[in-house]
Amino acid sequence: MQKTIRIKNLDCANCAAELSEELAAIDGVDEAFADFINQRVKLVYRSDEALEKCVSLISHFEEVEIVDGNAPQKKDFHIKETVSIGVSVLFFVPALVLMLTGANEWLVFGLFLASALAAGWQVVWNVILSVPRMFKGGFHPGVLLDENLLMTVAAVGAFAIGESMEGAAVMLLYQIGELLQNIAVGSSRGAIAKLMSLQSDSAIRVTADGQEEVSPEDLLVGDVILIRRGDRVPVDCKLTEGETSLDTKSLTGEAYLREVGVGSELLAGCVNEGNAVKAAVLRPCSESAVSKILELVENASEKKAKPEKFITKFARIYTPVVVLLAVLLAVVPPLFTNFNFPEWIARALNFLVISCPCALIISVPLTYFSGVGTLARHGVLAKGAVGLDVLARVKVAAFDKTGTLTEGKFSVSDVKEGGHVLKMASAAEKMSSHPLAQAFVGIDAPIPTSAEEIAGKGILAVVEGKRILVGSYRLMQEYGIEAEEAETPALTLYVAEDGKFIGSVEIADRLRPEAKRALDALKGAGVKKIAVLTGDTEKRAVGVLGGLPVDEICAGLLPEEKPLRAEQLKSAGTLMYVGDGINDTPVMAAADVSVAMGGLGSDAAIEASDFVLAGDDLSALEKAVRGARKTKKIVTENIVFSIAVKAALMALSVFGLIPLWAAVFGDVGVMLLAVLNSLRMRAKL
């Protein structure tokens, strides 16, 4: 069984890792993932008893609260943290003034202690709560060894050696840093929460009795709905009456309006900026484009990139090691320096504070999360951070032709040898799952008594007692049927009846209007080579793709040959494959990273891909590549910067060259700079 529990007040990646570990240790729980970015816990469990234990643990974990999934999310103004910091400052400033003027030491000590308690009481309380939790379901030292313990030890140690001002400064500066961090993380959460507004709360269904307002979840395929000016399209539907303009920015990232008329498909999440229109529901609400967006973006944080996984493991090992080193620093050197314990304890406390890995633990996941959110704003849905790392290295892009570079909306443009040919072809194609069968929808034809798909070539059917063969010229040759190959760049289906060629049908399909612009932009983003993999003949492929900046056309490929060709293309660099159909899933698996067309794409292609183009707009690919490279760059900057500055400050603390308050300031400063650098992902690509 699976369950997602909405929570609040889980504002630390390290705390999320601890909660995940504790939940996973409960008997009957197979998987547990606490997501501090999306504020939820996902569980896979085997019994109601296990679920009850999980709920109890979550409810008693630090300040975490379970919230009703149906309740509106209130904006967090961080009142409690702000009040704590304000009260702490009210004690800290007078204490500092009195200390500088030489006032009574005990009065100064009392004021600094009050300042420390006002700012850090929650930190100390979290440490106390962690002690019994450390022994639940075994021994989990990582539960205790976190930043709360580091700051508590540093503050208590400072007061113990008579440095009360530094002890108060530790807690005050740490809480200020935590507040600023929470505000920054909350800002990123707000970017994702904004995506939730893509969902419409209601829809107007048109019935024989008039109109009724219903929930989008209650709409059925075929229902007719009214979409007024300013309404958000509630579900994927097809326009049946009227003409209007659609604002598709929320899905595609493009600001221009799209003109639509009868027969046009409207994707959920778009806004009607023109006339009131009527449309027929194409897909249930749960299968709409906007549902795919929300599901993919919400689940993206579960698939972590290698740097994220490294940082999580690194923090688990790193924190206990630095605590041990701090203890050794406080105890061993004084044995050889006239037992000068206070001085070395102060250095050890500095070392302990600076060693806190908050900058890495927070900034790296936040950068990937911001990257996923930024790509979603441009109509590119990432299934996880792991795909961003691969996409950042792409050097070769391969495309399917039909339905990807072309619109994939087929129609019969010409028939050779009369209506009987069209009738037989239409009858056979009624039993085909190939996209080309769309061209024959609505044409009156008998239903075949049997049919057999011939992968990548055509279909063999029995119609009115006659053996009908419809497919490529290659198919005619394989069955020994004499036919003359058509001298045309149009897609041609050859038709044979009882072993004799009777004619052909030409199918029209147009290039996507944005195809050339999109491929040019992709090359401008650093992609060195663009190839097209297609089952069409080379002559037809060249005719259709003429004018596109394509470096190589791999034509005449059967479905099983596409993955082999993809493997060859990978020798030129990291390969991205873009496709739309069920036949593309093998080559998607062979590519380093894959992209599916979200609107026209099959469910199998979307499932197999790493990214989805929500609005079927190829122009978004360039944004995806640039966004992935920017994400990777910022992650690298944060890792290098944080480790370099931390190492320098730790070295200075060992030699006693910086006071404790400066160590805290340095730790908070590094963390804030890393977080702010992460938020650069939200800027324009």
613 band by pLDDT with thresholds 50, 70 and 90: confident
Instruction: Give the residue among 255, 228, 258, 223 at the shortest CA–CA distance from 242.
Output: 228
Q: How many CB atoms lie within 10 A of CB 464?
A: 13
* Bigger pLDDT: 198 vs 458: 458
- Which segment, 183-197, 314-328, 616-630, is predicted with the most confidence on average? 616-630
The domain boundary, picked from 283, 306, 324, lies at 283
Helix (H) or strand (E) holding 93: helix 79-100
Indicate the pLDDT class of residue 295, thresholds 50, 70 and 90.
low
User: What digits encode the pLDDT tens for the residues 483-512?
Assistant: 888 877 778 899 999 999 999 998 887 888
Residue 638, pLDDT above cutoff 50: yes
pLDDT of residue 308: 56
63 — pLDDT class (breaks 50, 70, 90): confident
284: pLDDT strictly greater than 50 = yes
- Of 483, 508, 533, the last residue of a domain is 508
Q: Which residues span the domain enclosing 467?
A: 411-508
What is the DSSP track for 369-431? HHHHHHHHHTTEEES-HHHHHHHTTEEEEEEEIIIIIB----EEEEEES-HHHHHHHHHHHTT
CB-neighbour burial class of residue 520 (10 A; exposed 0-12, middle 13-18, buried 19+): middle
Q: Is pLDDT above 60 for 20?
A: yes
Please report, as a single letter, which amino acid is at residue 100. L
Q: What sign does the dihedral 241-242-243-248 (CA atoms) show? A: negative
554-581 per-position pLDDT tens digit: 988 877 888 999 999 999 999 999 988 6
Which pLDDT value is given to residue 72? 44
Please state whether beta strands 466-471 and 491-497 pair in parallel, antiparallel, or not at all (unpaired): antiparallel
Does 560 fall in a domain?
no
Max mean pLDDT among 126-130, 229-233, 678-682 falls in 229-233
Q: Catalytic residue among 146, 231, 400, 584, which? A: 400
Q: What is the CATH number of the domain that holds 241?
A: 2.70.150.10
* pLDDT at residue 305 in the model: 55
> CB count, 10 Å around CB of 266?
25
361 occurs within a structural domain: no
Rounded percentage of the chain residues whose pLDDT exceeds 70: 84
CB-based burial label for 251 (10 Å; 0-12, 13-18, 19+): buried
What are residue 508's DSSP bridge partners?
411
**Rg of the chain's alpha carbons, rounded to an integer?**
32
**Stretch 202-212: mean pLDDT, rounded?**
90
493 in any annotated domain: yes
Confidence of residue 190 (pLDDT cuts 50, 70, 90): low
Is residue 499 included in any domain, yes or no? Answer: yes
In a domain, 598, yes or no: no
User: Which amino acid is residue 260, in one-letter code?
Assistant: V
Output the domain CATH number for residue 9. 3.30.70.100
Give the mean pLDDT of 168-190. Answer: 71
Note whether residue 324 is domain-resident: no
Average pLDDT over all residues of the chain: 81
* Distance (Å, whole) CA 112 – CA 98: 11
If you search the block for the tokens 């340095």, which residue do you land on?
666
Predicted confidence (pLDDT) per residue in 504-518, tens digit:
998 887 888 889 999
Q: Is 50 exceeded by the pLDDT of residue 312?
A: yes
Looking at residue 12, its amino acid is: C
CA–CA separation, 23 vs 57, rounded Å? 7
Looking at the structure of the chain, the number of domains it has is 3
Per-residue pLDDT reduced to its tens digit, 516-547: 999 999 999 999 999 999 887 787 788 888 88
Instruction: Check residue 135 and report its DSSP letter.
Output: T
Is the distance from CB of 408 to CB of 514 less than 8 angstroms? Answer: no
The answer to whether 215 and 202 have CB atoms below 8 angstroms apart is yes
The reported pLDDT for the residue numbered 70 is 44
- Write out the DSSP string of 197-264: TTS-S-EEEEETTEEEEE-GGG--TT-EEEE-TTPBP-S-EEEEE--EEEE-HHHH---SEEEE-TT-
**Residue 76 maps to a domain:** no
CA separation, residue 215 to residues 200, 208, 290, 293 (Å): 9, 19, 15, 19
Q: What tens digit of pLDDT does each residue of 339-366 get? A: 788 888 888 877 877 776 666 666 777 7
pLDDT band at 12 (very low <50, low <70, confident <90, very high): low
Looking at residues 9-30, what average pLDDT do you find? 78
3-state percent breakdown (helix, strand, coil) of the chain, nearest 5: 50, 20, 30
Look at residue 11 in the predicted model and tell me its pLDDT: 66
The residue among 66, 88, 109 that closes a domain is 66
Q: Are 289 and 380 in contact (CB under 8 A)?
A: no
Average pLDDT over residues 636-660: 85
Instruction: Please write the tens of the pLDDT for every residue from 359-409.
Output: 666 677 778 877 887 887 787 878 777 788 899 999 999 998 887 888 877
Question: Does the annotation mark 400 as catalytic?
Answer: yes
Q: What is the band of 658 on the pLDDT scale with cuts at 50, 70, 90? A: confident
| pLDDT on residue 569 | 94
Q: How many of the other CB atoms lie within 10 Å of CB of 466?
A: 12
pLDDT of 625 over the 90 cut:
yes
290-298: average pLDDT: 62
458 in a domain, yes or no? yes
pLDDT confidence band for 189 (50 / 70 / 90)? low
* 494 phi and psi angles, rounded to 5 deg: -95, 140
Res. 71: pLDDT tops 50: no
CATH label of the domain that carries residue 429: 3.40.1110.10
